[in-house]
C-alpha cells in the first residue's frame, strides 16, 4: 500500500471520530430541545445520542471514503503535501521575529494616529 494512501485512510478514520463526537453533541442538543429523554443504556456515558452520533459519524466517514471523487481528492492533497518544502527552525524563528516587529511598528503607528485624532477632537469640542 502506498504511504500516501495510509495517511489518507488514517485521515478518514480521524474524520469519523471527529464527526461522531460532533454528531453526539448535536443529537444530545436536539434531544434536549425536543425534551426527549436521553436514556442511559450501558453505563454512565452510553446514551441514545452517543450511539446515534457514533453510527452517523461512521456511516458519514465511510460514505466519504467510498466516494471516488472525495477519495481521489484526498489522495491528491496528500501527494501535494509530500512535495512541500517545510521551513527550518531558523527560518521559522526569523519569520516570527519579522512578524512580531512589523506588528509592533504598525501598532505604534496606529497609536500615534489615534492619539492625534483624540487630541484634535478634544480641541475641536473644547474638552479639557
Task: pLDDT band for 25, please (50, 70, 90 cuts).
Answer: confident
Residue 24 is predicted with a pLDDT of: 84
Expressed in percent and rounded to 5, the helix, strand and coil fractions of the chain are 80, 0, 20
Could you give the dihedral angle defined by the CA atoms of residues 20, 26, 27 and 28, in that order, rounded to the nearest 10 degrees?
110
Residue 98 vs residue 36, higher pLDDT: 98
Highest mean pLDDT, choosing among 3-17, 19-33, 37-51? 3-17
* Average pLDDT of the residues in 28-44: 76
**pLDDT level of residue 1 (50, 70, 90 thresholds):** low
- Give me the residues paired with residue 40 across strands: 47
Mean pLDDT of the chain: 89
48: pLDDT strictly greater than 80 = no
Q: Given this model, what pLDDT does residue 117 score?
A: 96
* pTM for the predicted model, two decimal places: 0.60
Per-residue pLDDT at 128? 67
Amino acid at each position: 500500500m502506498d504511504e500516501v494512501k495510509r495517511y489518507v485512510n488514517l485521515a478518514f478514520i480521524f474524520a469519523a471520530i471527529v464527526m461522531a463526537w460532533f454528531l453526539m453533541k448535536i443529537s444530545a442538543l436536539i434531544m434536549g430541545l425536543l425534551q426527549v429523554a436521553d436514556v442511559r443504556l450501558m453505563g454512565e456515558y452510553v446514551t441514545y445520542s452517543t450511539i446515534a452520533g457514533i453510527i452517523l459519524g461512521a456511516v458519514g466517514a465511510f460514505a466519504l471514503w467510498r466516494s471516488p471523487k472525495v477519495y481521489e481528492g484526498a489522495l491528491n492533497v496528500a501527494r501535494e503535501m509530500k512535495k512541500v518544502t517545510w521551513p527550518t527552525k531558523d527560518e521559522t524563528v526569523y519569520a516570527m521575529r519579522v512578524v512580531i516587529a512589523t506588528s509592533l511598528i504598525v501598532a505604534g503607528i496606529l497609536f500615534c494616529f489615534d492619539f492625534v485624532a483624540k487630541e484634535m477632537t478634544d480641541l475641536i469640542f473644547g474638552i479639557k
